[in-house]
Amino acid sequence: MEVPSISDTLDKLRTENAAGANGKTGSALGDLTETYDNFLLLLTKQLQNQDPLSPMDTAQFTEQLVSFASVEQMIQQNSRLDRLISLQSSTNAYAAANFLGTEVAVDSDKIMLSDGEVRFDYTLETNAGKAVLNIYNSNNQLVMLMDANKSLGTHKALWDGTDYFGNQLPDGQYRVAVTYEDALGKSYTADITSYGTVDGAEIVDGQVLLNIGDLRIPLEDVTRIIKPAAPVETPPDEEDPEEEAADLLADAIL
C-alpha cells in the first residue's frame, strides 16, 4: 500500500478544514485523531529512512510541524463555532415558542386552509388591464380561479375553501398565484402575503421553522406578528335586590 507523504497529509487536512467551514466540521474533527496518528507514523518513518548523507532540512521539518499544528487549530476553532451556532439555534427555538398561538404574516404564496377559511394579500405594482387569481392544491392542480383586483396596491382576499364548481375543499395546504397584465400587455406576477396561526416550532438543519398546520415557515420569512385579541370579560350579572334580600334572610335562618 502506498503511504502518502506528509505534504499530502497536510493537504488532506486543509481540505477537511475547508469542508468544516462549509458545515462539515464534525466529520473533519472526527477524523482528526486518526489523521494525527498517521502523521506521527509518517514522520517517524521519514526520520528513520532518511538519507544520512542528506538529512531532512531543519527548516522544512519545522514548517511541516507548524503547518500541521495550524490546521489542527483551525479545525478546533470551526468545531467551537459549530457549537456556538447550535447554541444560537436552540436559543432561537426557545424564542420561537413565543410565537405559539399568534398569527403571523409571511412572504409566501403558500396558504393554509383551516376551518374552511383562509386570508391572504396580493400586491400589484401597476394598474392592470387584466388580473386573474389562481389557487392550486398540494398536487399543483388548479382548483379555483377568479378575477383579481386590477388597481395598483395591496389587496386583501378571503377564500372560503370552495372550488370553481362550488364544492367545499378539505382543509390543508394550497398555493396562490396572481398574474396580471398592464395596458401594454406586459405580464407580471403579484407578491403574496399569507397569514396563519402558529401551532408549533422546530429546528431543521439548524434553521428555525414555524409550523402553521402542514406549512413549515422559516422564521426569517415572517414579516409581521399579530397578537391575538384579549378575550373580553363579561361583567357578572347584577343580582336583583329582592333576590339578594331573600338570600340573606335564608342564610340568617340557616
- Residue pLDDT tens, the chain, 254 long: 444 454 555 565 556 555 554 545 555 555 555 666 666 677 677 667 766 666 666 666 667 666 666 666 666 666 676 666 666 666 666 767 778 888 999 999 999 999 999 999 999 999 999 999 999 999 999 999 999 999 999 999 999 999 988 999 999 999 999 999 998 889 999 999 999 999 888 877 767 888 898 888 888 888 888 876 665 565 555 555 666 656 655 565 55
Q: Are residues 48 and 109 in the same domain?
A: no
Q: How far from each other are the two terminal CA atoms of the chain, in whole angstroms?
A: 103
pTM: 0.56
Q: Are residues 83 and 122 in the same domain?
A: no
- Domain of residue 14: give its range: 6-98
Q: Are residues 187 and 77 in the same domain?
A: no
Q: Are residues 166 and 221 in the same domain?
A: yes
Angle among Cα 84, 89, 93 to the nearest 5 degrees reads 145
* Amino acid found at 11: D
198 neighbors 100 (Cβ within 8 angstroms): yes
Does residue 42 lie in a domain region? yes
Look up cell 401594454; give the residue.
184
Question: Which residues fall within 8 angstroms of residue 170, CB to CB, at 6 or more apart?
Answer: 113
